[in-house]
Amino acid sequence: MGTVARALACRIALASALALVASGAQAQDDSYRDGAAVAIASPPPQLATPAASPDAPPVRRHGRPQRPADLGDGQEASDADRGPDFKEYLRLNTGPLSIEPEVLMQVQGIPYVGADSTLEAGDPADRAGFRFRRARFGLEGRLLHRVPFEITAEFNSDVAGTALLHDAWFGYDQYRYLQIIVGTHDVPFSRSALTGAGESALIERPFAVRAMAPFHQLGAHLEGHLWSGALSYYAGVYNGLQRNDQFFLGYVENSAILGNRFDGLTYAGRITSEPLGGTGRTIEDLHQGKLRISAGADAFYSNGGTRGVLGLSGDILLHYRGLHVLGEFLSNRSTPAVEPTQATTLTAVKTSYGAVLEAGYVVWRDRLGITGRFERLVPDTAVKDESNSWIVTGGISYHILSDFLKAQLDYTHREELYGVSLKNDSLVFQVQLNL
């Protein structure tokens, strides 16, 4: 009986294998289109992306350039933003809901930092070694083609690896000329601040931007996009701002879980123009496209509990045949409150400004780019010390897979204009995954 049972089992296994082979062959036949084999089979129906509605506006990240998948019918994707479409395979469509993952991981190797380098002064590290710069994960999506949303968290916000809220917003954007976003999101101020952390030409944003831009705050804003992006506007109100004790650490990003307990409100607005078409979401001109120019101007005023802050900035970005040129100017003017609601070291009016000039060229289309940046930084016009400086950064980036997977190498030299000359140069290597 044992022999008969084994023979019967073998026949059943063989029949199952033949059925699997037949079904695989049928699937392979279905993957051929016009006689050519498709390397990756088409996603199942539940993962397929529906055709864009003619009236569907793009998903925009509060001043950031839109991505190709976000363009509506009749819009032309920027030459600088034609990357692989493999994120389409990660998008899940279930009836009226469409969602996809958001991932940003950046691992740094730092072979050299000067003996005077500190994180509090904006340097990449205190000592040479490895640093996990970002570990971000979340979801973005759309409901009924007119309700965009995003929720992400940073999983390496402190030494304990605590997950802190980064983006948490939703909105209504049926009309291009009038859209609303509410939640924790980017304050519309400074092009470099609004550009994604993984989409810059160099590893880090300029020192001036990290120190003077508000970044993420809880609030709401209106925005509109007219004449195919030739003119866009943003106007919002947010919780009042608090600064970190160190100038280079910038503003506190407060998700206001307990509400607005000690601060007033912040009012912000931005106007941008892209008369020749979009420059894409990356600072680099990866695809060596046609001439594109994007200019912006913005301002915010924070009537905070410890200080009032007025911020102004202007920027321009040019793309042409692989060349990119970025210019940006930022200023902050802080006035201490008569009766501060929290402890503060600010006792007098403080004016800060920074100027940034960056240029780069994509030597090998879609792959290799080189970039140089010059900054002039004045944290306090009334004080002349080591924080007054000029900064030069040079870097090279290799795009392994568009801007989704890349490696970068940067060298930064800081020159103090007053006081003691510090040893705070740095050499940083970074690899990132950005979905």
Per-residue pLDDT 10s for the chain (435 aa) are: 444 444 444 444 444 444 433 444 343 334 333 333 333 333 333 333 333 333 434 444 444 444 333 444 334 444 434 445 666 778 889 889 999 999 999 999 999 999 999 999 999 999 999 999 999 999 999 999 999 999 999 988 777 777 888 999 999 999 999 999 999 999 999 999 999 999 999 999 999 999 999 999 999 999 999 998 899 999 999 999 988 888 999 998 887 888 887 788 999 999 999 999 999 889 999 989 999 999 999 999 999 878 889 999 999 999 999 999 999 999 999 988 777 777 777 778 999 999 999 999 999 999 999 999 999 999 999 999 888 999 999 999 999 987 789 999 999 999 999 989 999 999 999 999 998
Query: What is the DSSP-derived secondary structure letter of residue 338?
Result: S
Separation between Cα atoms, residue 11 and residue 16, nearest integer Å: 9
Instruction: Give the residue among 312, 164, 300, 168 at the shortest CA–CA distance from 240.
Output: 300
Please report which helix (H) or strand (E) contains residue 271, including its range. strand 265-273
Separation between Cα atoms, residue 295 and residue 328, nearest integer Å: 10
**Residue ranges of domains in the chain:** 47-434
Residue 307, C-beta contacts closer than 8 angstroms, at least 6 positions apart: 243, 334, 335, 336, 337, 340, 344, 346
Separation between Cα atoms, residue 111 and residue 129, nearest integer Å: 6
Q: Tell me if the pTM is above 0.85.
A: no
Residue 332, C-beta contacts closer than 8 angstroms, at least 6 positions apart: 212, 309, 310, 311, 350, 351, 352, 353
Beta bridge mates, 430: 108, 408
Separation between Cα atoms, residue 139 and residue 154, nearest integer Å: 13
Structure confidence at residue 404 (pLDDT): 85
The Cβ of residue 112 has, within 10 Å, a number of other Cβ atoms equal to 12
Separation between Cα atoms, residue 100 and residue 88, nearest integer Å: 9
Q: CA 218, 222, 226: angle at the middle one, nearest 5?
A: 145
Residue 99, C-beta contacts closer than 8 angstroms, at least 6 positions apart: 91, 92, 139, 140, 141
Structure confidence at residue 86 (pLDDT): 64
Query: What is the DSSP-derived secondary structure letter of residue 223?
Result: E
Separation between Cα atoms, residue 69 and residue 92, nearest integer Å: 14
Residue for token pair 């983006």: 167
Separation between Cα atoms, residue 368 and residue 27, nearest integer Å: 38
Structure confidence at residue 67 (pLDDT): 37
- Name the CA dihedral angle for 282, 288, 291, 295, rounded to a multiple of 10 degrees: 10
Query: What is the DSSP-derived secondary structure letter of residue 5?
Result: H
Q: What is the DSSP string of 355-416?
A: EEEEEEEEEETTTEEEEEEEEEEES-TT--STT-EEEEEEEEEEEEETTTEEEEEEEEEEEE
Write out the E strands in 144-177: 147-154, 164-175
Q: What are phi and psi of 194, to 5 degrees?
A: -80, -20
Separation between Cα atoms, residue 195 and residue 180, nearest integer Å: 20
Beta bridge mates, 368: 364, 398
Separation between Cα atoms, residue 292 and residue 274, nearest integer Å: 7
The token pair that represents 81 in the structure block? 């933003």
Separation between Cα atoms, residue 252 and residue 188, nearest integer Å: 16
- At 11, is the secondary structure helix, strand, or coil? helix
Single-letter code of the amino acid located at 415: E
47-434 homologous superfamily: Porin (2.40.160.10)
Residue 218, C-beta contacts closer than 8 angstroms, at least 6 positions apart: 183, 184, 238, 239, 254, 255, 256
Q: Checking DSSP bridges between strand 36-37 and strand 92-94, what pairing results, if any?
A: unpaired
Structure confidence at residue 29 (pLDDT): 38
The token pair that represents 152 in the structure block? 């992400």
Residue 105, C-beta contacts closer than 8 angstroms, at least 6 positions apart: 134, 135, 136, 432, 433
